């Protein structure tokens, strides 16, 4: 009896579960890019900026050398500062995919935040985010590179596909809440800290006719900005917990500022084994941030992040 197709079936099942977990994490940005995509990490930051309107776009890719096409994430978010009403309104659309059609994860979220001014130099913001997530996959479209040469995209033998499994598609509600506090100490030090709980409605997905759920995720973040002239120093830390798994990311960014223009460089470490160098620049209303998440013990799993922020 030939058991090879059955073994391949279970290997693909395991890999798809792994990919599903990683793709759900694609919507999160590392703390090194939190200034470009704050609403992705905490809905309370909606509208929490000095201008009236901003729009943000991002692109993210990972494990492209181990899996044909890799895991790609793209998205656009916009939020509006209703300063006179002490409110912020926002909307975000983002999508993740594996091999274009093997696994698709589409998200549409709207957010609302309200600010309370504790004093002339301190405020706290509360935010809520809600929408839906659509997850679909087709195991027939999944393919991998050679296990002996991760840079080669074609090691999967289509003749050894598992038995046919029907495509799956699932739509589920999603919701998050958050709080964010910021305060000025004198004219040169700005403190920021926030807490958020994501996926409060357990997101349901179908995997081979068995229901799985994306568990709630909890995020704590803190940042200190020392606004020297012309250098700004920004140490920051983020702690994430989800379903018993935790990690902490910490690092330092240095900015050289000339009025509305800036250039920045930073280095971050995420437990247990990830280094994240980052660079950024801003000219007038436009800013761009780039980072690479480099896994010290698994270097084929590099993750590339590109983020663009525009304030009209």
Residue in the structure block whose two tokens are 């916009």: 78
Q: In this predicted structure, what is the pLDDT of residue 66?
A: 53
Beta-carbon contacts of 285 under 8 Å, excluding residues fewer than 6 positions away, are 260, 310, 311, 312
Q: In this predicted structure, what is the pLDDT of residue 102?
A: 65
Q: Tell me: the pLDDT tens digits for 256-306? A: 998 889 999 999 999 988 899 999 999 988 999 999 888 887 655 678 888
Indicate the average pLDDT of the chain.
79
Q: Which residue has the higher pLDDT, 101 or 17?
A: 101
Q: How far apart are CA 77 and CA 80, in angstroms?
A: 11
Mean pLDDT on 55-68: 73
Q: Tell me: the pLDDT tens digits for 23-47? A: 444 346 666 666 666 788 899 999 9
Q: Tell me: the pLDDT tens digits for 6-18? A: 444 444 444 444 4
Q: Which pair of structure tokens corresponds to residue 203?
A: 């997101």
With contact defined as beta carbons under 8 Å apart, do 278 and 291 qualify?
A: yes
Range from 12-16, 76-80, 102-106, 298-302 carrying the lowest mean pLDDT: 12-16
Q: How far apart are CA 256 and CA 308, in angstroms?
A: 18
Mean pLDDT on 243-255: 91
With contact defined as beta carbons under 8 Å apart, do 109 and 174 qualify?
A: yes
Q: How far apart are CA 296 and CA 270, in angstroms?
A: 11
Q: How many domains does the chain have?
A: 1
Q: How far apart are CA 241 and CA 216, in angstroms?
A: 9
Residue in the structure block whose two tokens are 């839906």: 132
Q: Tell me: the pLDDT tens digits for 135-177? A: 777 655 555 444 444 444 444 444 444 444 556 777 888 999 9
In terms of DSSP bridges, do strands 303-310 and 245-258 run parallel, antiparallel, or are they unpaired? unpaired
Range from 17-21, 127-131, 252-256 carrying the lowest mean pLDDT: 17-21
Q: In this predicted structure, what is the pLDDT of residue 155?
A: 46
Q: Which residue has the higher pLDDT, 247 or 156?
A: 247
Residue 205 has pLDDT above 80, yes or no: no
Q: What is the CATH number of the domain that holds 48?
A: 2.40.160.40
Q: Which pair of structure tokens corresponds to residue 174?
A: 């999603």
- Per DSSP, the residues of the chain read ---HHHHHHHHHHHHHHHHHHHHHGGGPPPGGGTTT-GGGT-GGGTT-SSSSEEEEEEEEEE-TTTSTT-EEEEEEEEEEEEGGGTEEEEEEEEEEEETTTTEEEEEEEEEEEEEEE-SSSEEEEEEEEEEEEEEEE-GGG-----SS-TT-S----GGGPPSP---EEEEEEEEEEEEEEEEEETTTEEEEEEEEEE--S-EEEEETTEEEEEPPEEEEEEEEEEE-SSEEEEEEEEEEEETTEEEEEEEEEEEEEETTEEEEEEEEEETTTEEEEEEEEEETTEEEEEEEEEETT-GGG-EEEEEEEE--
Residue 210's pLDDT band, with cuts at 50, 70 and 90, is: low
Q: Which domain holds residue 293?
A: 4-310
Using left for φ > 0, alpha for ψ between -120 and 50, and beta otherwise, residue 26 falls in alpha
């Amino acid at each position: 009896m030939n058991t090879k197709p059955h073994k391949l079936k279970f290997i693909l099942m395991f890999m798809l579960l792994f990919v599903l977990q990683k793709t759900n994490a694609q919507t999160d940005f590392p703390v090194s890019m939190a200034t470009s995509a704050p609403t992705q990490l905490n809905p309370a930051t909606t509208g929490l900026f000095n201008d009236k309107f901003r729009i943000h776009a991002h692109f993210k890719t990972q494990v492209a050398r181990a899996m044909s096409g890799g895991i790609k994430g793209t998205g656009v978010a916009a939020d509006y500062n209703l300063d006179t009403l002490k409110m912020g309104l926002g909307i975000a659309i983002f999508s993740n995919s594996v091999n274009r059609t093997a696994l698709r994860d589409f998200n549409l979220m709207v957010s609302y935040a309200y600010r309370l001014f504790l004093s002339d130099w301190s405020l706290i913001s509360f935010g809520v985010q809600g929408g839906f997530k659509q997850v679909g996959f087709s195991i027939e479209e999944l393919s991998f590179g050679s296990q002996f040469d991760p840079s080669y995209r074609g090691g999967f033998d289509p003749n050894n596909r598992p038995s046919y499994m029907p495509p799956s598609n699932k739509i589920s509600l999603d919701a998050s809440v958050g709080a964010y506090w910021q305060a000025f100490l004198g004219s040169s030090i700005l403190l920021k800290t926030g807490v958020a709980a994501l996926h409060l409605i357990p997101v349901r997905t179908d995997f081979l006719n068995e229901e799985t759920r994306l568990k709630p995720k909890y995020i704590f973040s803190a940042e200190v900005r020392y606004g020297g002239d012309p250098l700004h120093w920004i140490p920051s830390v983020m702690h994430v917990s989800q379903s018993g798994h935790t990690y902490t990311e910490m690092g330092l960014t240095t900015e050289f500022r000339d009025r509305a223009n800036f250039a920045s460089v930073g280095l971050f470490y995420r437990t247990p084994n990830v280094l994240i160098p980052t660079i950024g620049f801003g000219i007038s209303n436009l800013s761009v941030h780039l980072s690479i998440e480099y896994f010290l013990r698994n270097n084929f799993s590099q993750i590339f992040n590109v983020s663009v922020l525009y304030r009209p």
